[in-house]
Structure 1
Amino acid sequence: MKDVIRNPILPGFNPDPSICRVDEDYYIATSTFEWYPGVQIHHSRDLANWRLVTRPLTRAAQLDMRGNPDSCGIWAPCLSYADGQFWLIYTDMKRYEGNFKDGHNYLVTAPTIEGPWSDPVYLNSSGFDPSLFHDDDGRKWLVNLQWDYRQREGGDRFGGILLQEYDTERRRLVGPIQNIFAGTEMKLTEGPHLYRRDGWYHLLVAEGGTGYGHAVTMARSRHLTGPYAVHPDNPVLTTRQDPDNPLQRAGHADLVETPEGETYLVHLCGRPLPGTRLSPLGRETAIQRAVWDNDGWLRLADGGKTPTLEVSMPGTDQRAPDTEETHEFASETLPANFQWLRTPEPERLFSLSERPGFLRLYGRESVGSWFEQALVARRQDNWYCSAETVLEFEPDDLQQFAGLIAYYNRFKFHYLAVTRGDGGDKVLSVMSCHDEWPSGRLDIADTQGAVLEPGTPVQLGVDIRERELQFRYAQGDGEWQPIGPVLDAGLLSDEGSGRAHGYFTGNFLGMAAHDISGRGTPADFARFRYRRELR
């Protein structure tokens, strides 16, 4: 698409964008929560076409999320460049349900975006969404929200934005901790970023929660420590009063300036399925053009406060994504689009060398385990998509199962699995968990005796059309045939929850092997094909 950027620029689960520019290169870091390796970083030269270049948190010294609950792990990274190196700040959230949160904030650095990335420096645990501000005088300051575990009448637990200096020589925070901004009446003040422009310190925050009341707020002060005056037209960006906008949940933003001096705002958004408030693609990243008005305040270039699907950018040629990608597992490294869950020891989950040309998964703990689960998957990034794989697997009993999975978290998944039936036959089973939190009721569909031939590969497929999900299979080179009922793909979303509040990730499609007997039975996958239907 020429002269226009179409949103979102990072489709599928890519929330909490932090953007920086180095000369002609732009980089966006996004949250990965419980998926390993931690933090996604995409690169672009034109703000329209983006490519995943690295996930920097790759080893136990940097990140170990075994035991982290669903939607914990990496929250809201901040990526910046100063003094000839990249600086990456991130939270490893260990608990977030209830009054208390246990989130630990760290800093890693690297000379190039590809690394090598350093071991982490521990910063603090006072709250999440940390951000590093590099002031003009060379001093560096950390800002993050303060978590207040008390439930006060008329208030919330977001206790304002804290500021403290970071000493690069001593590699730790130093000096007084100051609360520089309490937020506005929208409450839930988080996601802080500081900028300096024309003698002002500008503070950008997210407010209103990461759901449908989300928003971007700005305030400014002549002094770093405040007081900060709120933007006269606050909020700067939101869809909280625009329920028909295709980009809902707009908030959690960051700013970047082009070499020509133009300003762009990247922000979180969600695209609910038509007629619903269900977003299986999770929270995504979009971009908007902004201007600094004569009064020194930032506003959207098109006027108003709401994001647009298309952003004018003369000279841009935004490429459409490929309609199909196929992975034959011919390399000894996992294809870039795939991740696994929580553990820094992937060799216990899978191997690409044990049987060349196959991804071998070793059956580990049950579906939804927070510790060691052999599940390798990629993001769903389109409402209309399909996935296929070829599986060779010989289970001994019903406690061993492997196959193709659509996975949101431990209480929200649909799973087409090969296992053993009561009569000893190798069979197909369709399992669904419908998030009846906290019980997590598991449904086993009637597959009408789908018996498989021993020693024969089976093809497994899934088709998603907005809210409908249908599994299919084929034995050997036989014809595809549907199996099980049409399932609810809307369940696999942030909002498809039985809890009082939602989750934070998005649906994944991938391969899984589970052996709750503890014998580690392997399953071999010959290929994985993902198709998206562009509309």
Structure 2
Amino acid sequence: MKALSLFVAASLTRLGSAQPAKQQNSTIYNPILPGFNPDPSCVFVKEWDNTFFCATSTFLAFPGIPIHASKDLQNFRLIGHAFSRPEQLPAFGNITGQQQGWYAPTLRYHNKRFWIINSCVGAATGYWSTSDPYNNDAWTNVTPTEIPGYDPDIFWDTDGTIYSAFAKTVQNDPFTTEIHQVNISMPSGNTTTDRFLWNGTAVQPPEGPHMMLKDGYHYLLLAEGGTAQAHQVTIGRGKSAQGPFEADPANPILTAYNTSEYFQTVGHADLFQDSAGNWWGVALATRSGPEYKTWPMGRETVLYPAKWEKGQWPVLGGPVKGKMSGPLPAVNKNIRGSGAFVKDPDYYKFSPGSSIPSHFSYWRFPKTEDYAVSPKGHPNTLRLLPSRSNLTGDATALPTDGITFIGRRQTDTLFIYSVDVDFSPSSVGDESGVTLFLTQNYHADLGIVRLNKTGIYLRFHAEGPAAPKDTIVAVPQRWNKQVLTLQIQAYNTTHFSFSAGPKAGKMQQIATVPATLVSNGFTGSFVGVYATNNGNTKSNTPSYVSNWVYQGQGQYIGNGEFYPSNGQKGGAGF
């Protein structure tokens, strides 16, 4: 899926032709947005203090479509979410498919506003905007548009016409798409009848179109080959936004297909300039190697240098690697907001007066009453009330029922995640614990659970094809009535361990799981906590979580090489 674009701030429709500055090269560390951050779409906005803004896909994670900001293209801070309120698109809460939700966003800056257009598969397609990306509440509600496809682009031409190119499915077996286009009227959102635009190099499926205007040409950037090993970036150009388009003879201009690179599935690219006139590109990639078996963090955002001379085709600086070289802007972490930088660890105590960190995610809309920071009588905890459904759900579960789950993205190859859980399950079915969560169809959990009237157990359960069998261990007598520490560790590049022990005591490993279990589909892994009564609706036993710690222990970039995770403590209320 998808291809994206970035434009200079002055005009999203007219990219400049400034000559690259003579700037010393420095090291680019990829991925720049680690973990589940696919389909990047970014803009550089000079009048917003020379800042780069990027949006990525979120599918069923909520809040949706994170907005990250950076001034140096290496240190990105989460400044908000474009989709943070149910009233923006209520139908999101009714989506059933685990691979549905918000696909690839297109982020643009036009007439002093930031705009997003996107397809929420299973709900609606539409656009919305804000005058302040640092304020979640400033984003408008979604204006629905009749676009018969996905991965929509938005482009303002010089005559004021607003175009949207998109991928239209024309056949399901085999899956076949075409790039079509409509005109959009604002503020109504009305569209013209769609028309065929271009099919790139005819490598199916063409997706993620993004249009930009440079040196008298309308350029159309595509993602072709699907979002797996054959993913590739292609480009064409024409004198009109409606075509026809000629293909770059060098297509594909970026790909990892048929290579031995560790960073695979490279595609869904975007191009933009910095304040010095240097060209850059972003794309999605998976750290899987050509074997494409183990990639638990899903599709991540990578950066590479580019060149684009006047009147010529862009030349992208691949292949994408974990360490590259380019004329990066000077290091500058002076970014507004209180959100975490993407490479920061977590150290949270949920102290009184603090709020749930903005980089934590739910699955669909949460029932907010099921989550409380430092409730009365339980300071320095996050209280969870159980959902009827467990993390997988059952045939009677509805999307609106909700699951009590909250997590953060796995952003490091190696990491340790732990929480203290104060939980006294009183009814059969009561369960609370930690989870390695990809979707409701793929996850691995370690919970404290009451399985009968007399016993409390630690239960490891994994969901998905080839999942290991459950491991059930009675909670040792000496641990009874103690707060327990539950831990998930990525102890190498291919496996996770699940452990438990008394708070501040010795940990006991309960189970391990291969990372292949959560290397699947469009999303990436979260680690977090959950609570459920497993269908025993008469029970509402609370669970109290404290001392939430996520510490990265290394980023693997292939060929036996790691670079360090950010080890500095961060997070309010610690």
Q: TM-score, normalised by structure 1?
A: 0.89
What residue identity is the alignment partner of 1:381?
Answer: T
Deviation at 1:433, TM superposition (A): 1.7
What residue identity is the alignment partner of 2:160?
Answer: G
The equivalent of 1:113 in structure 2 is 133
The equivalent of 1:28 in structure 2 is 54
The equivalent of 1:82 in structure 2 is 110
What is the rounded CA distance, in whole Å, between the counterparts of 2:501 and 2:374 in structure 1? Answer: 27
Kept in 2, the 8 Å contact 1:398–1:420? The answer is: yes
More displaced 10-residue stretch of structure 1: 408-417 or 514-523: 514-523
Q: Call closer, same or farther: CA 1:350–1:48 in 2, change over 3 Å.
A: same
Task: Determine whether 1:399 maps to 2:429.
Answer: yes
Task: Determine whether 1:11 maps to 2:34.
Answer: yes
What is the rounded CA distance, in whole Å, between the counterparts of 2:297 and 2:132 in structure 1? Answer: 30
Task: Determine whether 1:130 maps to 2:152.
Answer: yes
The equivalent of 2:18 in structure 1 is none
Q: Call closer, same or farther: CA 1:211–1:513 in 2, change over 3 Å.
A: same
Task: Determine whether 1:341 maps to 2:358.
Answer: no
Kept in 1, the 8 Å contact 2:304–2:326? The answer is: no
What is the rounded CA distance, in whole Å, between the counterparts of 1:420 and 1:219 in structure 2? Answer: 61
What is the rounded CA distance, in whole Å, between the counterparts of 2:117 and 2:296 in structure 1? Answer: 28
Structure 2 residue matching 1:61: 3-state secondary structure: helix
Q: Call closer, same or farther: CA 1:448–1:32 in 2, change over 3 Å.
A: same
Task: Determine whether 1:208 maps to 2:208.
Answer: no
The equivalent of 2:514 in structure 1 is 488
Per-residue Cα deviation, 1:383-428 (whole angstroms, up to 9, x for no partner): 2111010111111234111011111122221111001143612221
Q: Call closer, same or farther: CA 1:246–1:83 in 2, change over 3 Å.
A: same
The equivalent of 2:327 in structure 1 is 313
Structure 2 residue matching 1:473: 3-state secondary structure: strand
Task: Determine whether 1:520 maps to 2:534.
Answer: no
Structure 1 residue matching 2:516: 3-state secondary structure: helix
What is the rounded CA distance, in whole Å, between the counterparts of 1:389 and 1:513 in structure 2? Answer: 14
Task: Determine whether 1:172 maps to 2:189.
Answer: yes
Residues 351-390 of structure 1: matches in 2 within 5 Å? 351-355=372-376, 356-364=379-387, 365-369=389-393, 370-371=399-400, 372-390=402-420
Per-residue Cα deviation, 1:127-171 (whole angstroms, up to 9, x for no partner): 1101111222333211211122453xxx6421x222222222x42
What is the rounded CA distance, in whole Å, between the counterparts of 2:547 and 2:447 in structure 1? Answer: 16
The equivalent of 2:452 in structure 1 is 422
Kept in 1, the 8 Å contact 2:130–2:139? The answer is: yes
Structure 2 residue matching 1:532: 3-state secondary structure: strand
Q: Call closer, same or farther: CA 1:442–1:88 in 2, change over 3 Å.
A: same
What is the rounded CA distance, in whole Å, between the counterparts of 1:229 and 1:110 in structure 2? Answer: 35
What residue identity is the alignment partner of 1:347?
Answer: T
Kept in 1, the 8 Å contact 2:169–2:176? The answer is: yes
What is the rounded CA distance, in whole Å, between the counterparts of 1:228 and 1:308 in structure 2? Answer: 31
More displaced 10-residue stretch of structure 1: 51-60 or 306-315: 306-315
What is the rounded CA distance, in whole Å, between the counterparts of 2:433 and 2:246 in structure 1? Answer: 55
What residue identity is the alignment partner of 1:41?
Answer: I
Kept in 1, the 8 Å contact 2:103–2:121? The answer is: yes
Structure 2 residue matching 1:157: 3-state secondary structure: strand
Deviation at 1:176, TM superposition (A): 4.1
Kept in 2, the 8 Å contact 1:91–1:104? The answer is: yes
Structure 2 residue matching 1:76: 3-state secondary structure: coil
Per-residue Cα deviation, 1:24-60 (whole angstroms, up to 9, x for no partner): 1110100011100110110011222111111121112
Kept in 2, the 8 Å contact 1:164–1:173? The answer is: no
What is the rounded CA distance, in whole Å, between the counterparts of 2:175 and 2:267 in structure 1? Answer: 18
What is the rounded CA distance, in whole Å, between the counterparts of 2:95 and 2:292 in structure 1? Answer: 33
The equivalent of 1:73 in structure 2 is 101
Per-residue Cα deviation, 1:265-293 (whole angstroms, up to 9, x for no partner): 11010101796522101100011111124
Deviation at 1:200, TM superposition (A): 0.4
Task: Determine whether 1:471 maps to 2:498.
Answer: yes
What is the rounded CA distance, in whole Å, between the counterparts of 1:489 and 1:297 in structure 2? Answer: 40
Kept in 1, the 8 Å contact 2:71–2:329? The answer is: no
What is the rounded CA distance, in whole Å, between the counterparts of 2:230 and 2:277 in structure 1? Answer: 31
What is the rounded CA distance, in whole Å, between the counterparts of 1:374 and 1:423 in structure 2? Answer: 24
What residue identity is the alignment partner of 2:202?
Answer: E
What is the rounded CA distance, in whole Å, between the counterparts of 1:218 and 1:51 in structure 2? Answer: 30
RMSD: 2.3
* Partner of residue 551 from structure 2, selected from 514, 528, 531: 531
Q: Call closer, same or farther: CA 1:281–1:403 in 2, change over 3 Å.
A: same
Deviation at 1:332, TM superposition (A): 4.2
More displaced 10-residue stretch of structure 1: 191-200 or 306-315: 306-315
What residue identity is the alignment partner of 2:303?
Answer: I
Q: Call closer, same or farther: CA 1:184–1:354 in 2, change over 3 Å.
A: same
What is the rounded CA distance, in whole Å, between the counterparts of 2:321 and 2:449 in structure 1? Answer: 47
What is the rounded CA distance, in whole Å, between the counterparts of 1:272 and 1:476 in structure 2? Answer: 36
Task: Determine whether 1:187 maps to 2:187.
Answer: no
Q: Call closer, same or farther: CA 1:530–1:184 in 2, change over 3 Å.
A: same
Structure 1 residue matching 2:368: 3-state secondary structure: helix
Per-residue Cα deviation, 1:407-462 (whole angstroms, up to 9, x for no partner): 112222111100114361222111112336xxxx7832143664574432111112
Kept in 1, the 8 Å contact 2:54–2:68? The answer is: yes
Unpaired runs of at least 5, structure 1: 95-102, 495-502
Structure 2 residue matching 1:256: 3-state secondary structure: strand
Aligned pair count reads 504
Determine what percentage of the aligned residue pairs are the same residue: 26
Kept in 2, the 8 Å contact 1:105–1:124? The answer is: yes
What is the rounded CA distance, in whole Å, between the counterparts of 2:344 and 2:70 in structure 1? Answer: 21
* Partner of residue 157 from structure 1, selected from 145, 151, 176: 176
Task: Determine whether 1:249 maps to 2:249.
Answer: no
What is the rounded CA distance, in whole Å, between the counterparts of 2:501 and 2:120 in structure 1? Answer: 42
Kept in 1, the 8 Å contact 2:229–2:290? The answer is: no
Structure 2 residue matching 1:65: 3-state secondary structure: helix
The equivalent of 2:6 in structure 1 is none
